[in-house]
Structure 1
């Protein structure tokens, strides 16, 4: 099997369901595998880590995406995301990110800790009520989605009455980030882009007239003060990005983490006894079953290389974060789930200029939620077969039914 065949296999339902055997096959060919003349498959931790941080590499922008996929720009979902900082390079990326980072601060995130704790216990109360008669409860719907969407909406200033609307829109919109999608999925993504853009246009207008102490108000003010630094289109695109990225990854982190606890009862015991920390557990879930499996980069100049492979201008690279996180040259026994690892540093939040702004918030939510969940429901157990989203880039569960056991 060559690199092209690996990519083809990753695109299949079986490959998306469990990509790790394919990652091992790819690593056996080397940390960087050419796939034709202008594409590389990168699985090595060192090589992915370096490529994410080199300024000579950037995200593929709209013009290049259109060259690769004729008709790309006809999809409103893809155009919307291309206007966000997720898919922009310097100088536009730095301009938008610095403005958003100036209001999405570490201090503001840290101040959310009491609200996160209160939200965790409120959702656990709801789970207890739903499962009081022994009925199965879908952990993804009852907790893993509701916690991060509540937190990011609180931060943005989205009214509580509107928050239930976002899960289907986010699920549909993120299909536009996948490497392969059907016409029906892209149509749904375009509709979700319209709905979310329209929602934030209305909310921004309300906050422009009546500012409050939230991120939407702050960013609306920034855009109003200097449209050359943040245009109206960029404002909407980045608000949608903050919403979707603010809970999609964390939802998957929480679901993937609970599934690991079911597979490893000794880890559950260690967490309850305090011999395993919630921070160590969170980092190992990020490493072992990353909520984000893949990101793309392209060479923005000549004279670059990844590993020892020359990477001329325009060469694309699929950086397999999920594979790099299990690189045996970086981690001893990389396929073993071990929350006691030291200096883990998974690449799940990316790196370099595009390092995830919400990484601190995702970690806070996981480290608060997991101990509280096990303390409240020490007998929590799987109840039937979980269902994964049929995705490669974003890896997580659609449903994860559980029974709660005695409180």
Structure 2
């Protein structure tokens, strides 16, 4: 077995060298660490795709080991964000996904571009004003733009008050980061209860306001549409309704926050690529795909549970094991992407797994792509002298000291920048 340390702080800051060793030497790797269950990491692209489409690797919490329930991550029926399509298998997953898929078609999302640009411009104006008022003070890009942009957009889509976004950020962070200590477990439970109460009250209010002569597809927001689907079409149970809204609210901003933060850091660390993108803004769509591949917002897939012995990449994974597909490692697989450790915004064939693969492919991928394009394009256009305000090794990555292999998000706590004169 490959001897790699997946628990130290250096790995959290830059996991790619360790993933390269795993990919080369032990691409289907049983991670040690005394977690109370077997955790298998899949790091090669071909094996990752196979695992993500294998029905024997289930998502439903009923298959989760007892240790994960003891940790408060799962119950017998619900995952971290309640009862929703992310923790469902076919045919329930198919039914749940169909209910919201119309809201995330490429045509519908592209129609949001003017509004996304308007929100981004307002945030950039605020950054410029602060920069002028405080004589070039540092700006945290995560707090100033990467978080408020996607949370505002998803709140408007859902019909949720944007004024409550700071509460949503605190609740979603507590729920996404896996608790290993009692105090973190308590915070997670409080966050789940607070968000559940909030959404329960929201659904009650929406129900009282709905025009019953209007169908689900013609409702003014997505929460109202889901309430109608639950009440009139009998397609959603109450736990599924709340779980769906909870998932859309959390997943609808978390991925994009990290796409913008990780993407801008990658460009700042590769000034030749940033210069090229400024000179050729038509490369933005390709650049976003490459940034997703190079250092994407989701490091590992959500947990899968082996319902029987499964062979992946020539290795037998025993029934009852937990499987984590390392999307970040698979997207740096040189067998799939030549020169995979190099950032190349002109790369023609990305074929990355940053948004997953198979039935759980990210429903909000078109929205994340749009927000990434608009945010990164606006920053490069408005701030020609944009620069990192600290050494890269001083940056703090989410997840705390060491690494918790059950956390799936890869993102920065903050990204301090010096803006320079604005255009």
So what's the TM-score if we normalise by structure 2? 0.87
| 2:64–2:74 contact (8 Å) kept in structure 1 | no
Q: How does 1:3-402 map to 2 (within 5 A)?
A: 6=4, 9-34=5-30, 39-59=39-59, 61-69=60-68, 71-73=70-72, 79=79, 81-132=81-132, 133-176=135-178, 181-211=180-210, 213-227=220-234, 229-274=235-280, 277-295=283-301, 296-301=303-308, 304-311=310-317, 313-384=319-390, 385-390=394-399, 392-402=407-417
Give, in whole Å, the separation in 1 of the partners of 2:185 and 2:361: 27
Count of matched residue positions in the alignment of Structure 1 and Structure 2: 397
- In 2 relative to 1, CA 22–406 (structure 1 residues): closer, same or farther, beyond 3 Å? same
Give, in whole Å, the separation in 1 of the partners of 2:170 and 2:44: 34
Give, in whole Å, the separation in 2 of the partners of 1:320 and 1:241: 21
- Shift in Å at residue 329 of structure 1? 1.0
Give, in whole Å, the separation in 2 of the partners of 1:223 and 1:103: 16
| 2:78–2:87 contact (8 Å) kept in structure 1 | no
Unmatched tracts of structure 1, length 5 or more:
none
- Aligned-residue RMSD, C-alpha: 2.3
| 1:256–1:396 contact (8 Å) kept in structure 2 | yes
- Post-superposition CA distance 1:1-27 (Å, at most 9, x none): x35x54xx3233332222112101211
| 1:156–1:215 contact (8 Å) kept in structure 2 | yes
Give, in whole Å, the separation in 2 of the partners of 1:86 and 1:298: 13
Give, in whole Å, the separation in 2 of the partners of 1:271 and 1:397: 23
| 2:82–2:246 contact (8 Å) kept in structure 1 | no
Question: Secondary structure of 1:360's partner?
Answer: helix
**Residue number in structure 1 paired with 2:403:** none
Give, in whole Å, the separation in 2 of the partners of 1:350 and 1:371: 25
- In 2 relative to 1, CA 75–347 (structure 1 residues): closer, same or farther, beyond 3 Å? closer
- Post-superposition CA distance 1:141-186 (Å, at most 9, x none): 000001100111111111232223222222111114xxx6322222
- Post-superposition CA distance 1:235-287 (Å, at most 9, x none): 11111111111111100110011111211111111111117711121111111
So what's the TM-score if we normalise by structure 1? 0.90
| 1:276–1:339 contact (8 Å) kept in structure 2 | no
Question: Secondary structure of 2:117's partner?
Answer: helix
